Amino acid sequence: MRFPLLALLATGAAALAAPRSECLTPKVFIVSMFSPEDVWTAPLKLTHNVSLPGLSPLFPHVKCDKARDVCHVITGEGEINAAATISAVVLSDKFDLRKTYFLFAGIAGVNPHVATTGSVGLARYAVQVALAYELDARQMPSNWMTGYWIQGTKAPGTLDGANIYGTEVFELNTNLRDRVRALIPADIKLNDTAAAAAYRASYSYAPANAPPAVFYGDVATADVYFAGSLLAEAFGNITSLWTNNTGTYALSAQEDNASFEAMVRAHQAKRVDFSRVVLLRTASDFDRAPEGKNTYDEFTADQGGFDPAVQNIFVAGNYIVQGILGEWGAFKGGVKPQEGWLHDADVFHTLATKRAGLQRRGVERRRVGRGVPLVE
């Protein structure tokens, strides 16, 4: 077949020469998982629609503000929607996201021993807790406390022999987490309602029965919307395992590991900087009943936390968005992540491998680092 080589070259050259200005370079990209979490479009006037292939049919546009400084996408719920949507965004040629901060901000279930409804959690880890074997508890060995155990292992409570998929746990930049927490005023007035306060009072212990607050806590990801003290404890144990006891299961949601897998892959492809990711989850409902109460009844009860949780995404999260925009001079260059990430972003040590490779080849940091703060 004859193919005009010159035409091919011309196409390639045109692609390479495409002015960067045609590409959107948002400073902050906000991610919601379903419509109620979109507390951003109206107040931030996100009126500029950007269509991309690969978004959810329910949420077919990325929306940006007039200056194209802030963009927002809704992934659709669950791990599959999150991974597919985030992949579409980070691989799109319509964006240059190498210096963009990502704020993943949604609601979540909450461990009452760590926080209460309406509270705002900032995470270090996202753990895919249900990536596991499972036996129905009625058929498990009689001395087991849970029917979940890590694939490849022999029993709950160990990682010995674990089969690794690579998505089990993601670790974020805790220095960035500290920086953005400092953007939120210490005396912030979080939204609360009488209904949420009344339900909270049915717990006999704090922080469950205390007013909502901003806190640090890690997120368990599972498509299964679980509840009850036994499952919550089992998944809390799995969180401890995957984080070598440095993570605390605080919040449960259905997307974060999936989103972060797409983000880590895009980081490897030099399309995003994984050290610029913030995970904020506000607590909409308790993951277990107050002591002595029936698990199913409390799971299905209106706990009153949904409305304040949704509102507090914006109440707290907008300080982060405006802070990054307002201090862009300081944020533009990135925030160096902690020394010795437990997993260097993921179980495959993706970022560490990159660092080792770069150091081996003696590649100059600035040229290739692309904002990935490499070890000095």
**Closer of 64 and 372 to ligand NAG (Cβ):** 64
**Exactly one of 100, 167, 275, 350 binds ligand NAG (CB under 6 A); which one?**
167
- Closest contact distance (angstroms) between CB of 332 and ligand NAG is 25
Q: Is 174 in the site for ligand NAG (CB under 6 A)?
A: no
Stretch that binds ligand NAG, among 18-26, 161-169, 262-270, 298-306 (CB under 6 A): 161-169
Q: Is 273 in the site for ligand NAG (CB under 6 A)?
A: no
Can you read off the two tokens belonging to residue 94?
């319509």
Q: Is 275 in the site for ligand NAG (CB under 6 A)?
A: no
Q: Is 77 in the site for ligand NAG (CB under 6 A)?
A: no
**Exactly one of 18, 58, 135, 145 binds ligand NAG (CB under 6 A); which one?**
145
**Closer of 104 and 286 to ligand NAG (Cβ):** 104
**Closer of 100 and 312 to ligand NAG (Cβ):** 312
Q: Is 295 in the site for ligand NAG (CB under 6 A)?
A: no
Q: Is 35 in the site for ligand NAG (CB under 6 A)?
A: no
**Cα–Cα dist 221/231, whole Å:** 13
Stretch that binds ligand NAG, among 22-30, 168-176, 328-336, 353-361 (CB under 6 A): 168-176
Q: SS3 sequence, the chain? A: CCCCHHHHHHHHHHHHHCCHHHCECCCEEEEECCHHHCCCCCCCCCCEEEECCCCCCCCCEEEECCCCCEEEEECCCHHHHHHHHHHHHHCCCCECECCCEEEEEEEEEECCCCCCCCCEEECCEEEECCCCEECCHHHCCCCCCCCEECCCCCCCCCCCCCCCCCCCEEECCHHHHHHHHHHCCCCCCCCCCHHHHHHHCCCCCCCCCCCCCEEECEEEECCCCCCCHHHHHHHHHHHHHHCCCCCCEEEEECCHHHHHHHHHHHHHCCCECHHHEEEEEEEEEECCCCCCCCHHHHHHCCCCCHHHHHHHHHHHHHHHHHHHHHCHHHHCCCCCCCCCCCCCCCCCCHHHHHHHHHHHCCCCHHHHHCCCCCCC
**Binding track, positions 208-237, relative to ligand NAG; x by CB under 6 A:** -------------x--------x--xx--x
Q: Is 337 in the site for ligand NAG (CB under 6 A)?
A: no
Residue 78, amino acid: G
Stretch that binds ligand NAG, among 7-15, 102-110, 165-173, 287-295 (CB under 6 A): 165-173
User: How many residues are present in the chain?
Assistant: 376
**Cα–Cα dist 88/54, whole Å:** 5
**Exactly one of 35, 49, 158, 204 binds ligand NAG (CB under 6 A); which one?**
49
Of 39, 77, 62, 30, which Cα lies nearest the Cα of 255? Answer: 77
Q: Is 244 in the site for ligand NAG (CB under 6 A)?
A: yes
Q: Is 38 in the site for ligand NAG (CB under 6 A)?
A: no
**Binding track, positions 57-76, relative to ligand NAG; x by CB under 6 A:** ---xx---------------
**Exactly one of 32, 146, 275, 282 binds ligand NAG (CB under 6 A); which one?**
146
- Closest contact distance (angstroms) between CB of 361 and ligand NAG is 26
- Closest contact distance (angstroms) between CB of 234 and ligand NAG is 4
Binding residues for ligand NAG, rule: CB under 6 A, are 47, 49, 60-61, 125-128, 131, 145-146, 156-157, 167-171, 191, 193, 221, 230, 233-234, 237, 242, 244, 257, 260, 311, 315, 342
